[in-house]
Chain A
Amino acid sequence: MELTLEPGKWVYYRFSDSTVVGKSIIGNSNDDKEWYDRMDWDIALSENGIRTNSGESGRGYGGICYIDNETFYEDSYSHLSSIYYMVDTLNVPIVVPIDR
């Protein structure tokens, strides 16, 4: 899959039909409010990072977590329901590995 980012903009993407749904200006509160109320997007990408349709970013049930390569290729989704998902706050939660 491929999509094109634009400087200073969020690009909204929906997984179910692999569609770029739209774009908004980063930091524009009116744009943020409009996209908050929409349920037709799952993630948004920009040079800054990722948003999910959750928490302060959207009214959806979205969230994000880190998984490893093996989990990515497992042909099952049942394990995904037991993972803890971070929802968006005013800051975007980015999950990174730490040393044990």
Chain B
Amino acid sequence: MKILYKIILSALFICQPGITYAQLAIRPGTVLPELELKSSLKSPVRNGNNTDFPTYIDNSLSPYFPAIINQHGGSCAQASGVHYLFTYEMNRVLEREVASNPKENTFSYRYTWNFLNEGKDNGSHASDGVNLILHHGCVTAADYGDEDEYVYRWVTGYSKYYNAMHYKVTKASSVNLKERSGIEKLMQYMIDKGDGHPGGGIASFSLTGNWDKTNYDGPSEAGIEYIMVPRGSGGSHAMTLIGYDLSVEFDCDNDGKIDDDEKGAFIFVNSWGTWWATGGKAYMPFSGFTRELGDGGFYKYDSHAEVLCIETAYHEPTLTMEINMTYDSRNDLTLSIGVADGIQENTPKYAVYPVIVKAQGGDLRMQGTNFDSGKTIEMGFDISELKSKADEMKAPCWFFTVYKTQLGKNGTGKVNKIAIHDYSSGQDNVISQTFIKSNTIQVGSNKYKLPTKEWYMDNKGNWFKVVMTPANKYVSNSDYLKKFEWNKIYGIRKANGGYAKIKFTDYNPQTGKVKFSVNNYEYK
């Protein structure tokens, strides 16, 4: 595990206006460590002498921030965590403006959502999408393509997955906004992440239960005209905190006066289009996090007041696996990729487990489309973390294992191609590949080996080398035949998959007669 986690208790976010109930999470949210600030700025003091910080910050105005979107279905958590949070944070690190190439410089929230929604219009957790990006990177909006084409589509194409591997989350963490100290920590984070890149960070958060927006006409530096109130029929929804405004004053408990903790608000973006509130944005008062439910607060549990922050990096994969497989019930399948020393090994010594193919995605064809062509998918997985292990081996043999269970309908299919790409030299060097002619994926473990050396050790400890000999070259000299057939014994896998052993005992080149002994087995 790359990161140690602590649990976020949160409901699933179904994200649609008018929905009044919260669904249980289909998959538990990822647990996160506490955010550690790198900034050396002092804690802001309101109305004090400390003038290090501006009265308001709005990171959605940054050239690194993507366009406001109107999310599809119940995808709010991924709209927040991927479209807004990951896109902004990745562009900020790359110092790359979205407008220079909007489709290439925006990441696809549909890519992560469709791995997490079980092939239906279900909600998810932003932290699960972030975890997925941590392992696999994220496909760009350009590579994902037409979002209206088959709602629950999985992307196909090794080059798209390879491109995605370059854009990764390196760390995810949380800030609890229940206390003023947490509020100020996030404010500091929004001003300056302290990582040498311009601007500050943003955070994904969520609301459950009753909430709504109302008009706001109080003091405002950011010009936002709506503010959230803890009443209404909001349901479970994820949104993104992108700044704060210290000039805001909001009487959250309707007692006719503004207390100190009723001053200040975060600014957030929603994913319901620019028509919602002020260009898609509204205020979330600090008191909404710090106050108790019923006294102006939104959260019944303190843990629900935690927000998600991430760090990102551009990554150059050194080793990947490309696969092409055909299957019609993708939630049957879980994958692993591993390596061992020598093809005599039957289990890998080191392995990684892709989280994007993990008995999920619903009872659909691999691509999630309705056509037969949608049964076949081409994917890529970053296995750079195994390269150093493989480099220490004498004859690394790669394993690709497909675990099949039966969830829903009984799926059928096969693996078509497996290849290893080594980029460590700066070029794409395919070091091993195999094309499986016919092998129906069975229930249980289906293991495919890719040796990288032409020699191996058998179970008796004998080493052998494979010598490639031209099949169609006519050799008139029988000495060649004699060399490899005399006293040689072969194990044969027959055309039907059964086995036989053949021992050559004599060859007469004058008569052409070959004598041999056979042990034949009709069982596979």
Binding site for B on A (CB under 8 A): 1-8, 15-16, 18, 26-27, 39-43, 45, 47-54, 57-72, 77, 79-86, 88-100
Q: Is B275 an interface residue (CB 8 A)?
A: no
Known: A8-B474, A94-B484. Contact between A3 and B514, CB under 8 A?
Answer: yes
10 sampled A-B residue pairs with Cβ under 8 A:
A1-B515, A7-B474, A26-B474, A49-B469, A49-B484, A62-B495, A63-B492, A72-B517, A92-B470, A94-B467
> Which one of A5, A7, A53 lies within 8 Å of B514 (CB-CB)?
A5
Q: How would residues 495 to 518 of chain B score, 1 for a CB under 8 Å from any chain A CB and 0 otherwise?
A: 111111111000001011111111
Q: How far is the CB of A18 from chain B (nearest CB, A)?
A: 7
Binding site for A on B (CB under 8 A): 343-344, 346, 437-438, 449, 451, 455-456, 458-476, 478, 480-481, 484, 488-503, 509, 511-524
Known: A16-B520, A96-B464, A96-B465. Contact between A53 and B495, CB under 8 A?
Answer: yes
A65→B516 CA distance, assembly (Å): 16
Q: Is the CB of A94 within 8 A of B511?
A: no
- Known: A63-B493, A67-B501, A96-B464; 4 extra A-B contacts, CB below 8 A, are A2-B516, A42-B494, A64-B490, A82-B459
A72→B509 CA distance, assembly (Å): 25
Residues of chain B with a CB closer than 8 A to A2's CB:
513-516
Q: How far is the CB of A11 from chain B (nearest CB, A)?
A: 9
A81→B451 CA distance, assembly (Å): 17
Residues of chain B with a CB closer than 8 A to A88's CB:
471
Residues of chain B with a CB closer than 8 A to A5's CB:
512-514
Residues of chain A with a CB closer than 8 A to B513's CB:
2-5
Residues of chain A with a CB closer than 8 A to B474's CB:
7-8, 26-27, 47-48
Q: Is the CB of A64 within 8 A of B493?
A: yes
List the 6 closest pairs (A to B, CB-CB), nearest first. A60-B495, A91-B468, A53-B495, A77-B521, A63-B493, A5-B512
Chain A, Cβ-Cβ closest to B481: A47
Chain A, Cβ-Cβ closest to B435: A55
Q: Is the CB of B346 within 8 A of A47?
A: no
A80→B492 CA distance, assembly (Å): 9
Known: A1-B515, A2-B514, A98-B465. Contact between A80 and B491, CB under 8 A?
Answer: yes
Known: A53-B494, A60-B495, A67-B491. Contact between A91 and B521, CB under 8 A?
Answer: no
Q: Is the CB of B471 within 8 A of A62?
A: no
> Which one of B438, B476, B491 lies within 8 Å of A7 (CB-CB)?
B476
Q: How far is the CB of B438 from chain A (nearest CB, A)?
A: 7
A50→B515 CA distance, assembly (Å): 14
**Which among A39, A49, A79, A100 has the greatest number of chain B C-beta atoms within 10 A?**
A49
Residues of chain B with a CB closer than 8 A to A85's CB:
491, 493
Chain A, Cβ-Cβ closest to B509: A47
Q: How far is the CB of A3 from chain B (nearest CB, A)?
A: 6
Q: Is the CB of A15 within 8 A of B518?
A: yes
Residues of chain A with a CB closer than 8 A to B476's CB:
7, 47
A45→B472 CA distance, assembly (Å): 12
Q: Is the CB of B495 within 8 A of A57?
A: no
Chain A, Cβ-Cβ closest to B449: A84
**Which among A26, A40, A51, A92 has the greatest number of chain B C-beta atoms within 10 A?**
A92
> Which one of A41, A70, A83, A89 lies within 8 Å of B495 (CB-CB)?
A41
Q: Is the CB of A4 within 8 A of B512?
A: yes
Residues of chain B with a CB closer than 8 A to A65's CB:
490-491
Residues of chain A with a CB closer than 8 A to B475's CB:
47-48
A49→B522 CA distance, assembly (Å): 25
Residues of chain B with a CB closer than 8 A to A40's CB:
495
Q: Is the CB of B493 within 8 A of A67?
A: no
Q: Is the CB of A60 within 8 A of B499?
A: no
Q: Is the CB of A66 within 8 A of B491?
A: yes
Q: How far is the CB of A87 from chain B (nearest CB, A)?
A: 9
Q: Is the CB of A4 within 8 A of B521?
A: no
Residues of chain B with a CB closer than 8 A to A54's CB:
493, 495
A42→B496 CA distance, assembly (Å): 8
**Which among B466, B495, B498, B514 has the greatest number of chain A C-beta atoms within 10 A?**
B495
Known: A3-B514, A47-B478, A84-B456. Contact between A72 and B464, CB under 8 A?
Answer: no
Q: Is the CB of B518 within 8 A of A1?
A: yes
> Which one of B344, B469, B502, B523 lies within 8 Å of A94 (CB-CB)?
B469
Q: Is the CB of B478 within 8 A of A72?
A: no
Q: How far is the CB of B341 from chain A (nearest CB, A)?
A: 14
A40→B494 CA distance, assembly (Å): 10
Residues of chain B with a CB closer than 8 A to A4's CB:
511-514
Residues of chain A with a CB closer than 8 A to B346's CB:
82
Q: Is the CB of B488 within 8 A of A66?
A: yes
Q: Is the CB of B471 within 8 A of A45?
A: no
Q: Is the CB of A42 within 8 A of B471?
A: no
> Which one of B343, B466, B512, B518 lies within 8 Å of A93 (CB-CB)?
B466
Residues of chain A with a CB closer than 8 A to B490's CB:
50, 64-67, 95
Chain A, Cβ-Cβ closest to B501: A72
Residues of chain B with a CB closer than 8 A to A51's CB:
471
Q: Is the CB of B501 within 8 A of A27?
A: no
Chain A, Cβ-Cβ closest to B490: A64
Residues of chain B with a CB closer than 8 A to A49's CB:
469, 471, 480-481, 484
A81→B498 CA distance, assembly (Å): 9
A43→B495 CA distance, assembly (Å): 9
Chain A, Cβ-Cβ closest to B521: A77
Residues of chain B with a CB closer than 8 A to A63's CB:
492-493
> Which one of B438, B473, B480, B499 lies within 8 Å of A81 (CB-CB)?
B499
